[in-house]
Amino acid sequence: MRISLFRYFSALFVVWTLSGCANDSLTRQGQFTELEKDKSTLANQGEALRSRNNDLERANGNFTVELAANKQQMMILQDEVALVRRQLSDSTEKLAAAQQEKAALDKRITDLNKIVDRQKGIPIESNNSLASIETPVFSGVATRVENGCVHIELPGATLFERGGDQITPHGQLLLRQVAGKVAQTYPGHKVTIEAHANTLQQTSTQFVSKMDQTAGQAMIVYNDLENARIFSPDQLTICGAGTSKPLVSNSTEDGASRNYRVELIVRPN
């Protein structure tokens, strides 16, 4: 009986032990499975992180390229702004210059009007009051007597720069030499500065027509003589004749050259 109980308990112990081992094995198997799942999850997370990192690197690369492009665009815009500022500065300077030119032109017109108004009251009559005075002779300058007046012809090509809006140094010297001799020979006589053009020579863009050119050139000569104080202001008048009074035909170079002139016309008292 005792042997039977011993065997029974021995068998029971063996069964219990085997059952415990089996349960322990199942537990380890479950833990291993969980670990495998965790490993797989971590691997997936790692792959997702790598993918996201790659996306971030691509985005960063695109951002860097875009930033460089924006910097380049900004530099271009800065250059354009600087160009616009320079153009604005140039336009401002040109506007100021244009305003100065307009002011000078307005003054010239005012001066012309004053002189023309003064000239209207001075009649030119034929008489022989200058006949007793010997007409002066000038080198390179033609002189003639017409209707009792002495006409001294100053070549326009000598007096003025090309275009005719400035007097040359040589022209100024010739003008003052001739004017000084005229003032000495005909003291107190009225003198008209009469400018003429031909149909050939180019004019400055400052003049809108041949008539405007001759009026302007007469004014230039008047201002120079006034500055030199060779004549008193009430002795001088001016006239721009345009191309209306040619001395000879303009069909030849010599003829056109003679017609382009400024005459100092000495009137009898």
Give the pLDDT of residue 196.
Answer: 95
Domain residue ranges of the chain, discontinuous segments joined by +: 1-99, 142-266
Domain at 142-266, CATH class = alpha beta
Give the pLDDT of residue 187.
Answer: 92
pTM of the model: 0.56
Residue 210 CB neighbours (<10 A): 19
Give the pLDDT of residue 85.
Answer: 87
The overall average pLDDT reported for the chain is: 81
Average pLDDT over residues 95-106: 72
The contacts of residue 266 (CB under 8 Å, 6+ apart) are 130, 149, 150, 152, 182, 186, 189, 190, 191
Give the pLDDT of residue 95.
Answer: 82
pLDDT tens digits, residue range 15-28? 556 566 556 666 76
Whether residue 116 is predicted with pLDDT greater than 80 in this model: the reply is: no
Whether residue 151 is predicted with pLDDT greater than 60 in this model: the reply is: yes
Please tell me which residue, 47 or 160, carries the higher pLDDT value. Answer: 160
Whether residue 115 is predicted with pLDDT greater than 80 in this model: the reply is: no
pLDDT tens digits, residue range 198-224? 988 777 778 888 899 999 999 999 999
pLDDT tens digits, residue range 52-64? 888 888 888 888 8
Give the pLDDT of residue 124.
Answer: 46
